[in-house]
Amino acid sequence: MSVANTASQTTAGDRLLGSVQALGRALMLPIAVLPAAGLLLRLGQNDVWGWTHNAYMVANGIPWMAQAGNAIFAQLPLIFGVGIAIGLTSDAGAGAMAGLIGYLVFMGVWNVTIPQVKGAPDPSYNMGVLSGIITGITAAWLYKRFHDIRLPDYLAFFGGKRFVPIVTAFVCVILGLIFGWIWGPIQTGINDLGQGIIGLGPLGAGIYGVLNRLLIPLGLHHVVNSYVWFQLGSFKGPNGLVYGDLNRYFAGDPTAGNYMAGFFPIMMFGLPGAALAMVRRANFPKVAAGILLSAAFCSFLTGVTEPIEFAFIFVAPFLFVIHALLTGLSLIICNLLQIRIGFSFSAGLIDYVINFTKGNSHNAWMIIPLGLIYFAVYYYLFSFCIKIFNIGTPGRGEARTGLSADWILPESQRGPRASKNGKTSVAESSERETDQDTILAGQVLEALGGSANVESVEGCITRLRLFVKEPESIDDARLKALGAAGVIKRGKIAQVVMGTQSDRIAERIKRLMKEDAEVVSD
């Protein structure tokens, strides 16, 4: 095989991985609405407010609040269609409109093409959020292909971005016909896959838990989550047939929650225990505590775990593998103990308290003693490994990591940086009085090789996702000195873990790249 062919195949693989990663990032936008839906639906139930109904509430809860939550769950496919289109087109309004039009047209055609029962679509046929994912991806691709198209003068009004919803509508007519004809065997295959996973019992849940954590560095865990949460298994609820462990749980399925309960001991207890161990083993505990304790509280309260995980994932990959295995074990244990409780977004205290008394939650109280055991396991395991293997976790200092003691902190929270003569310059002092995010974005862009090296950049919860021309031009050491917990490179795809400030940095990098492009064109 020639060198040219090898390079071509590598590039194709990079592009494929980049596309899947981009989809994972885009899925975050529609998933982010789930907490609102879950809270509204749960707070509208009678068992939440029943103790006050004599004085304030009606005996059947708050129907209008429950219906507000139901309205979001009922339209999840549409929300996914629009959200994915937005995420894949860098927040383009025309892309969002195309996603909306594409979904409505697709479902209109699909509902007529599938088998009918008494003049109505067969209710056993249901694509769930997959219909939104398909139309969202289609709309985004068509936007990138046609958003700057030029039509003849007599059709010029319909050119450019106005053309995108039009062409999306016609393409989705064709897709609606195709999927209407072929969906029967596809749905059977998906159901068989789901039944196979469910048939594995606790082991199936454990495998999912391990994969969920192992895919975090690549940002692909949301792709797996989307199948488990929104497609795995079926249940006929009060509002019709629903699919997925999360949807089934909120629809009242007494068997749902098997693939969510096991995350509560990890996120509420295990990772906070790891954070405490890293603080206790730090040579500069105040520096480590500055962010790790707040990250631990974030994990405990909301179930957002990346700020803790990225503090050790790169400096001790074997610890991350152990963390993934412990997560899988937690899901297995919760299945064996028949602990069932779900969440709308992630397994934090908020969802635990709200859903603790839900009718189809079962043995939820066991999360607390199991969680305390996990806290101790994580604390002593991380303490032992950090000490024995001298792992460079946050606050261990320059001697171990080659980084300053406060590298884990955002740039704006660090101590003054000394110049070459050991003093902080006037220019640096005045610079810190301006927008710190813009300053940091400029420094990150420079470390990435400048605007000329960056083809595209997007922000996720805790990382920058990039396509670059020359990966070797990226200065990993400089990025870590700027606060990156790690740099992941595969071919021309790069991810820079900058923590929860990543979205802000990405937007400012885009702005700086646009300014650089305008300067070059002038």
Are 438 and 412 a contacting pair, CB within 8 Å?
Answer: no
Number of Cβ atoms within 10 Å of the Cβ of 79: 24
State the catalytic residue, choosing from 172, 298, 385, 460. Answer: 460
Which tokens is 302 given?
């909301």
HEC assignment per residue over 110-138: HHHHCCEECCEECCCCCCCHHHHHHHHHH
How many angstroms separate the CA atoms of 341 and 334, rounded?
A: 10
H/E stretch holding 467 reads strand 463-468
Number of Cβ atoms within 10 Å of the Cβ of 91: 11
Q: Is 460 annotated as catalytic? A: yes
**What size, in residues, is the chain?**
522
Judging by DSSP bridges, how do beta strands 493-497 and 463-468 pair with one another?
A: antiparallel
H/E stretch holding 169 reads helix 163-199
H/E stretch holding 76 reads helix 76-88
Instruction: Give strand pairing partners of 493.
Output: 467, 490
Our measurement of the distance from residue 364's CA atom to the centroid of its chain's CA atoms, rounded to an integer in Å, reads 25
How many angstroms separate the CA atoms of 84 and 68, rounded?
A: 22
Q: Known catalytic residues? A: 460
